[in-house]
Each structure stands twice: as C-alpha cells, then as structure tokens.
Amino acid sequence: MTDSPKLLAATIERLTAKGKGILAADESLKTIQKRFTPYSIECTDATRRDYRQMLFTPADLGHYISGVILYEETLFQKSAQGVPLPKLLEQQGIIPGIKVDLGLVDLAGSSDEKATEGLDGLKARLERYKAEGALFAKWRAVFNIANGKPSRAAIQANAHSLARYAAICQSVGIVPIVEPEVLMDGDHDLKTSAYVTEKVLNAVFTQLKMQHVTLEHMILKPSMVIPGSDAKAASISDVAKETLKVLLHTVPAAVPGIFFLSGGQSESVATAHLNEMNKQMPNTPWTLSFSYGRALQHSSLETWAGVAANVPAAQAVLLKRAKLNSKACLGQYNAADEK
C-alpha cells in the first residue's frame, strides 16, 4: 500500500503523544474468566462486553490513554446501545489496536520453553482487523529464566517470529507492538534478569533488521528488569537504573516509543518504576510509557464486580490509575498521589 508509511507515521505520532499510554484489554477468554472468578462474575459474551464498555467510556480517558489493545472478540462487539466498541474509543480520540498472536505452545526440542503461534494467515487477518478500525497490533513472546534458560533456540525462534510479525504488520499499514517478555517466575536476581533481557533484546533487534522492519514505525513493549518473584526485591531506583542501562545497550534511538508491560507488578509499583525511569533519564531517545493490563484494570474490576450500579465508581478508579501513570510518564508521580 502506497500510503502505508504515512499512515504508520501518523499512528506512531498519536500513540506516543506526551503523557499518554496504552491500555492492554486483550485478555483471552481463558484469562478474563480467571479475572472474573474471584468476583463471582459469570464469563459470557454479555459480561465481557459490559466490562470492556465500562473500561472504554470514562469521560476524559483520552487525556491519558492513546490506544487500547483489544481481543479479537472485542473488536467485533457492539455496546449495549449498538455502537461498535472500537467506535467508543475513536470517539475519545483513542486508537483501537488488536492482539494478533494465537497464544503459546511448547517449543519443540526444548524443556519448559514456549513459542508463539499465529503467523499463518496473519496478513489476511490484519487486513480484516484494519477494516474494523485497528491501526496497531501486538504480538507477545515469553522467555523463562530457570536452569540455564532461555536457551539459544528459544531466543532465536521467538525473536524471528516477532520480526516476521512486525514486517507483515507494516506491509499493511498497521503499527506493530513488539512484546518480548522476560518472565518474573523464579528466584533469579536483578543482575541475571538484566543479562537475560539484554540477550533477548539484542536478538530481537537483529531479527527486526534482517526482516527489514522500519524501526521508526514500531513500538517496543518489554518487561522491566526485575528480580524473580521468589527472589529478594530490588529497590525502585535499582530497577529503573538497570532497566535503563539494558535499554541503552540494546534499543536503537530510531525506535520512537518503549511502552512497558507490568508483568505481575502491583499497580503502584509499576507506576513507581516508570516514574523513576523518567526521573533518572528525562531525555531518553525514546518515549518511555506504559502498556499495562492488570496494573491499570485491577482496582477498577474489583470496584465494578459485574454490578451495573458500580460503573461510575469503577470508571473513576480507572481514570485515577490512568492519570497517575500519565504523571509517571512525565516523572511527576508521587506515592502520596495514591491516597
């Protein structure tokens, strides 16, 4: 498509707007059922629609959120009033995006490592999603740290898939979000996390260049450099310092935005880490922002609990969380703001 570079550049400019981030609302059916269960919410087409409609319609959400990643079902759903859910986002100046990978499978020939499926037929799916309003996409790969992992085979297989996906996205005018997640599971320390993250990101960018991906027209969605969940916690300052060091070693300045995943962090900790990075290095070559799922949604879901009367309160909670993360993008968040 001859207009692809212009469209990609325009989408990037909107997604990386100062002080804005991305809401990840692309939970699979299995994952959202798991999220609903503690609140005794029945997981049906209607309840998933109602939940996403609640998330997408707070007044002023577009002040803090530039894009929302949708699950395929959500892209084609309509609100209770008959409005397509992507249109609800567009009405707020928010760009609809779409999760396009088809999930994780065991990596053949490895032990306890995963590969991501979804390249077959991807171009045709992207064209269909674009017709429904999606202007960016997301593909997730995961890397496990344990017993010498991730293996070279796992790193190379997943880096290649991420790059092929990104190239296909750009060929149809859709901005790719490249998500290599180094998992928190395990007892590895901060230095080990940094070492593995650097290896993974180096491999990813090598493959992106081999597949002729235009770096100016993509977004990186990495995990922060954090010790394993079974290890001693690191300070907010040390996590920010190590994460920035790895990014400076691996991410070309041509990449316009780095939008972190929260990866199991609590809402306030994820916000504090992002804020500290922007304080320590306010003039990075890339926009440092957020693409959080649970770290934006958790308290809002807890407040909503499937009850229609709770929608205004749940939306207020979501707006507050989005605003705090917006402040973190500017290095202006304070823990006292949580109160």
Active site members: 179, 221
Distance CA 175, CA 243 (A): 24
Distance CA 186, CA 60 (A): 39
Residue 21: half-sphere exposure toward Cβ, Cα within 13 Å: 31
Distance CA 52, CA 101 (A): 20
The answer to whether 144 touches 183, Cβ cutoff 8 Å, is yes
Distance CA 212, CA 12 (A): 18
Distance CA 140, CA 117 (A): 10
Q: Is 156 left (phi over 0), alpha (psi -120 to 50) or beta?
A: alpha
Pairing between strand 21-25 and 287-292? Answer: parallel
The count of other CB atoms within 10 Å of the CB of residue 254 is: 12
3-state percent breakdown (helix, strand, coil) of the chain, nearest 5: 50, 15, 35
The answer to whether 14 touches 49, Cβ cutoff 8 Å, is no
The answer to whether 195 touches 150, Cβ cutoff 8 Å, is no
3-state helix/strand/coil string of 41-53: CCCCHHHHHHHHH
The answer to whether 139 touches 161, Cβ cutoff 8 Å, is yes
